Amino acid sequence: MRIDLHTHSTASDGTDTPAQLVRKAAAAGLDVVALTDHDTTRGHAEALAVLPEELTLVTGAELSCRLDGVSMHMLAYLFDPEEPAFLAERELVRDDRVPRARGMVAKLNDLGVPITWEQVARIAGDGSVGRPHVASALVEIGVVPTVGDAFTADWLADGGRAFVPKHETDPFEALRLIKAAGGVAVFAHPAAVKRGRTVPESAIADLAAAGLDGIEIDHMDHDADTRARLRGVADELGLLATGSSDYHGSRKTCVLGQYTTDPEVYGEITRRAFGAFPVPGAGGA
Measured between alpha carbons, how far is 178 from 62 in angstroms, rounded to an integer?
11
- Burial environment of residue 13 by CB neighbours within 10 A (0 to 12, 13 to 18, 19 or more): buried
Nearest CA to 258 among 24, 23, 28, 8? Answer: 28
Q: Which is nearer to Fe ion, 143 or 184 (CB)?
A: 184
Amino acid in position 92: L
Q: Which is nearer to Fe ion, 16 or 246 (CB)?
A: 246
For Fe ion, which residue of 22, 162, 188, 220 counts as binding (CB under 5 A)?
188
- Shortest distance, position 13 Cβ to ligand AMP, whole Å: 6
Subset of 47-86 contacting ligand AMP (CB under 6 A): 64
Subset of 149-208 contacting ligand AMP (CB under 6 A): 151, 194-195
For ligand AMP, which residue of 18, 81, 130, 257 counts as binding (CB under 6 A)?
130
- Output the CA torsion sign for 92, 97, 98, 99: positive
Burial 241-265 (b: 16+ CB within 10 A, else e): bbbbbbbbbebbebebbbbbbeeeb
Q: Which does 179 bind (CB under 5 to 8 A by kind): Zn ion, Fe ion, ligand AMP, none?
A: none
- Residue 263 CA: distances (Å) to CA of 20, 129, 184, 279, 280: 24, 33, 16, 25, 27
Q: Which is nearer to Zn ion, 13 or 80 (CB)?
A: 13
Stretch that binds ligand AMP, among 81-89, 147-155, 234-242, 266-274 (CB under 6 A): 147-155
Q: Which does 151 bind (CB under 5 to 8 A by kind): ligand AMP, Zn ion, Fe ion, none?
A: ligand AMP
How many residues make contact with Fe ion (CB under 5 A)?
Answer: 4
What are the residues binding Fe ion (CB under 5 A)?
62, 73, 188, 246
